[in-house]
Amino acid sequence: MSVPYVSGNLNVAAACGGIVLSAPIPGVNVDYVLEQEFLCARASFVPLTLNSVHPVLPSFRLVEETPKADVTGEMCRWTRRYAKIPAPHNQASSIAYSPVGYAGDSVTLGGIITAVPGRSRIAKVVSARVQHDYFLLDPANNRILDCDGNVVFSGANPSPLDVPLLQEHRYYGPYYSAVPLGLVLDTISYGPADPTPQYLYPVPNGTPVQPPYDAYPTRGVYETWVAKSATVKTYDHTTNVLTDTGSYELVATASELSRWMGNILERRTVYIEAE
């Protein structure tokens, strides 16, 4: 009696092609995407769960499975696409932006009332830096990760709404009353070398719904940014830490969020120089 020979269990998906790596981000020569063809009996096809790791290169997670092609004999063939969480990168751009404006005011110095001129908001085209950051939704472990594997959110049923977003810079004058807004007025300083504290509305607690420390600068602080005589600080929503960025940039518009691939989300934030 003849004995049939088989090369494997056709009811289980098996790789039938080599690994193909690609760099999908323009200007970034890093292989973030992996593709490989698989084969199995059509009746036994079971889709993989998003975020499943590649059997050979576990740093890549499943983001997509292509349509199944019939290869006769009740068999099907398709491509599984995996991806790494990309590191942050920047792209050059330009936007129409209205620089921060402020109303005129007056101050009393030595008993003399002195007028302080204001500035109207006039839209103009300015150069911009668009920073792209990436996050992985990991519902199986109730968390969201950044590209370094740090947990930026922990909680049941994480969603894109739980990705920390940066708010655009806004200006409230030093004499602006927070009472009508129902907010808590607080002041912080960048240290002994900073004679002008910043005003904060409201007190931060690290949640995305509250602004970063430098979201509401006083007029004095803002003018030092324009004069390039002070260093902008950046507030980290995750760590609740104020850090020195060594730049004079403003967040021009609130961050935008979209799906990059699978459960990997892309956050885009537009920065411009203060003026």
Segment 107-163, tens digit of pLDDT: 666 677 777 667 777 889 999 989 899 999 999 999 999 888 888 889 999 999 888
> Which residue, 275, 200, 209, is CA-closest to 242?
200
pLDDT value for 10: 79
Beta-bridge mates of residue 61:
53, 83
pLDDT value for 72: 82
pLDDT at 223 over 60: yes
Residue 19, token pair as written in the block: 């690994």
pLDDT at 217 over 90: no
Q: Give the residue ranges of DSSP H helices in the chain.
A: 219-226
Q: Report the first-to-last Cα separation within the chain, whole angstroms.
A: 88
pLDDT value for 252: 83
Report the residue count for the chain: 275
DSSP state at residue 97: E
Query: Where residue 219 falls among pLDDT bands split at 50, 70, 90?
Result: low
pLDDT at 70 over 80: yes
Query: Where residue 274 falls among pLDDT bands split at 50, 70, 90?
Result: confident
pLDDT value for 230: 58
* Residue 165 half-sphere exposure toward CB, CA atoms < 13 A: 18
Average pLDDT over residues 223-231: 66
Average pLDDT over residues 8-30: 89
Q: Which of 90-94, 174-178, 244-248 has the lowest mean pLDDT?
A: 174-178
pLDDT value for 269: 87
Q: Which of 12-16, 80-84, 125-129, 184-188 has the lowest mean pLDDT?
A: 184-188
Q: What is the mean pLDDT of the chain?
A: 75
pLDDT at 106 over 90: no
User: Which own/partner pairs from 231-240 qualify as long-range (CB within 8 Å, at least 24 positions apart)?
Assistant: 232/274, 233/190, 235/204, 237/152, 237/164, 237/166, 237/206, 237/207, 237/208, 237/212, 238/150, 238/152, 238/164, 238/206, 239/206, 240/204, 240/205, 240/206
Q: Enter the pTM of the model.
A: 0.73
pLDDT value for 96: 92
Q: ∠251-244-162 over CA atoms, to 5°? A: 50
Residue 84, token pair as written in the block: 């790494």
Is the distance from CB of 121 to CB of 101 less than 8 angstroms? yes
Is the distance from CB of 130 to CB of 158 less than 8 angstroms? no
pLDDT value for 116: 66
pLDDT value for 122: 83
pLDDT at 220 over 50: yes
Q: Which of 122-126, 193-197, 215-219, 259-263 has the lowest mean pLDDT?
A: 193-197
Is the distance from CB of 233 to CB of 225 less than 8 angstroms? no
